[in-house]
Chain A
Amino acid sequence: QVQLQESGPGLVKPSETLSLTCTVSGASMSSSSYFWGWIRQSPGRGLEWIGSISYSGSAYDHPSLRSRITMSVDTSKNQFSLKLNSVTAADTALYYCASEKEVYGSGSYVYWGPGTLVTVSS
């Protein structure tokens, strides 16, 4: 069973960089069968797809966030990461890491982490 777990600071100051890591267990991140993604949820914006990345580093991201996002994969640690810079209060949300599995089609997120709340505040 694939399991994902987010980690990172729960509080980030405005204009600074939000950094999250997702640790994967139960699956090899080197498999081409998976894409690894980030999704956030807030009362004001609902569920918002942030982006996805493959084991090789091929990435797709939300155009509205593209200038502020960096995603990366470390297959040796079975981890993938998200950095979002120049954060504002609008980036306050519950951040999920999730994975697509080839058999369910691109963009269908079958495995999710429990989520981590990130608050942007001074």
Chain B
Amino acid sequence: DIQMTQSPSSLSASVGDRVTITCRASQSISIYLNWYQQKPGKAPNLLIYTASSLPSGVPSRFSGSGSGTDFTLTITTLQPEDFATYFCQQSYTTPYTFGQGTKLEIK
């Protein structure tokens, strides 16, 4: 199975900050990397697909980049509703696998 490793595991930031979360795959996954946002008690929500594409309705302050094994999720100008846990997931091959999550907390 492809292992997905996120860093950091947790992050404190303030409203208006810019934050970056990284995800590394144990082997090349091309651009088949997705990001999800999960709020407490809710299902994950697809934020980014194929490394850098935004589904309709996702604010443009979210962006993704990377290919191969190294990927980043960037949130510019943090909003109060962005404080949540973020997961990366590879969709290059089954079994699809997820990172362990990055909890973004208010400083």
A residues with a Cβ closer than 8 A to B are 46-49, 60-64, 96, 98, 104-110, 112-115
Bound: A64/B97 CA distance, A: 13
Bound: A63/B97 CA distance, A: 12
Bound: A87/B34 CA distance, A: 30
Residues in A neighbouring B99, C-beta threshold 8 A: 46
CB atoms of A96 and B94 under 8 A apart: no
Known interface pairs A105-B50, A109-B46, A114-B42; 9 further A-B residue pairs with C-beta atoms within 8 A, sorted by A's residue number: A46-B99, A47-B89, A48-B98, A49-B97, A96-B43, A107-B34, A107-B96, A108-B34, A109-B34
CB atoms of A60 and B43 under 8 A apart: no
Number of A-B contacts (CB under 8 A): 61
Known: A47-B87, A47-B89. A108 touches B97 (CB 8 A): no
User: How many Å from the CB of A47 to the closest CB on chain B?
Assistant: 4
User: How many Å from the CB of A1 to the closest CB on chain B?
Assistant: 11
CB atoms of B43 and A113 under 8 A apart: yes
Nearest A-chain residue to B31, judged by Cβ: A105
CB atoms of B43 and A49 under 8 A apart: no
Bound: A63/B24 CA distance, A: 22
Q: Is B83 part of the contact surface with A, judged by Cβ < 8 Å?
A: no
Write out, one digit per residue, whether chain B residues 76-107 have a CB within 8 A of any chain A CB (1) or not (0).
Answer: 00000000000101111011111111000000
